[in-house]
Amino acid sequence: MGGELGTELLLDAYSHGIFPWPYSDDEPIVWCSPDPRAIIEWSNFRPSRRALRRLRSGEFTATIDRDFQGVMQACSEGPGREEGTWITPNMLHAYARLHEQGHAHSVEVWNGGAIVGGVYGVAIGGVFSAESMFHRTRDASTAALSHLVAHLAASGYGLLDIQQWTPHTGRLGATEIPRTDYLRRVAKFVDRPVPFGSKLQGDPQSLRP
């Protein structure tokens, strides 16, 4: 517990499988490394048939880093977070700095000119740690995650960390592995020279339910 949300400390933490989880900006920061750890393997990711139909219909379009702070803000205001969220003002500022320095990224999903879903996280080497996602219309968060998975796989990433398993991510194919296995995988991929890029790679429409 404790410390500040500085860029150097955040990058060091993520490089060792640790992430911050503050309860408020008035309390010491809690740093977490859960056991087991939830991840998404490229081959296990399975969007629902309905979500894939909407992806293939052309209803949604997706971008990278077009509105990082907007995605974070929307994640902080999502359903179930009305009484509080770990995405505090200090977290918003800290991750905005990470984004400005090229370490944090977002995928946005649009319907017309409106942002309807998104996901953001931290990229270090070949490891991407997804922090949160949101939706304003059905299947938009799944569309964002589908684009992220396809992009990471096509770009040469080796690990997608989602921190904790939930029933929703479980339905999408997320699995849990022991922390020791997770840390071995972080150590294997964290120094891989993989740029996140500015354009989406891969084809989420090729994913299978």
Q: Does domain 34-206 match CATH 3.40.50.10470?
A: no
Burial class (CB in 10 A: 0-12, 13-18, 19+), 79: exposed
In tens digits, what is the pLDDT along the chain, a chain of 209 residues?
A: 888 889 999 999 999 999 999 878 788 889 999 999 999 999 999 998 898 899 888 899 999 999 999 999 999 986 555 455 779 999 999 999 999 999 999 999 999 899 999 999 999 999 999 999 999 999 999 999 999 999 999 999 999 999 999 999 999 999 999 999 999 999 999 999 999 999 999 988 777 76
In angstroms, how far is CA 190 from the centroid of its own chain?
Answer: 16
* Integer Cα distance of 149 and 204 in angstroms: 8
Kindly state the tokens that stand for 119. 């996901």
Tokens of 114: 């409106």
pTM for the whole structure: 0.94
